[in-house]
Chain A
């Protein structure tokens, strides 16, 4: 079935470091791809999305490019801040609910 695999955390970075969180998905159909962010004690917020191959989603300095050839949607940010500390979930559209990865916890230290 449909699945999403993302790198396991936790990831700990210093402020202003470069961030990459890897995400790959199963290639059935033509899914849309999403990154969600969950801050402590809160629900999930849509961070960015891409609906077709080669699309780049971006928001708040985060970017991810829909790579069909590698079935990937890696999340990147050039310079992380302490306020980016959260859990990040990669997801793909599927048959009814979105299919989520297991989440990657990011901690950014000053």
Chain B
């Protein structure tokens, strides 16, 4: 149980392109989803937290107009990297958790990540 599916797993595209990454919770309702970015051999960097039906909360330094997050249903959140440039190349990982916002002792379940390469 608690499977999170992330798609696509690998994207290569030209500079200036917008890229959409989907994150789905397959067997549970994810009221809260998280988007992370991971640089090679480094830990996860939280980009934003999204709750179904409301605007995402972005971490300091993350451009919300650059990284558009939509959490339209209890099983789907999307991250769109708009007008991507080579510096946006990275490994993006989504995570989902059952239950509402605020303090939670529930584990987070992770997708397999999307490797984004901008040429």
Contacts and interface: CB of A to CB of B under 8 A. Distances in A.
Question: Does chain A bind chain B?
Answer: yes
Interface of A: 29, 31-32, 34, 36, 41-46, 49, 51, 89, 93-98, 100-103, 105
Please classify how large the interface on chain B is, using the bins under 10, 10 to 19, 20 to 34, 35 or more.
20 to 34
A44 B110 contact: yes
Given A89-B43, A96-B49, A96-B103, A42 B108 contact: no
Contacts of B101: 96
24 contacts: A32-B105, A32-B106, A41-B113, A41-B115, A42-B113, A43-B4, A43-B93, A43-B110, A43-B112, A45-B110, A46-B2, A89-B44, A93-B105, A93-B106, A95-B102, A96-B49, A96-B102, A97-B34, A98-B107, A100-B43, A101-B43, A102-B43, A103-B42, A105-B41
Given A41-B115, A44-B93, A97 B49 contact: yes
B113 A43 contact: yes
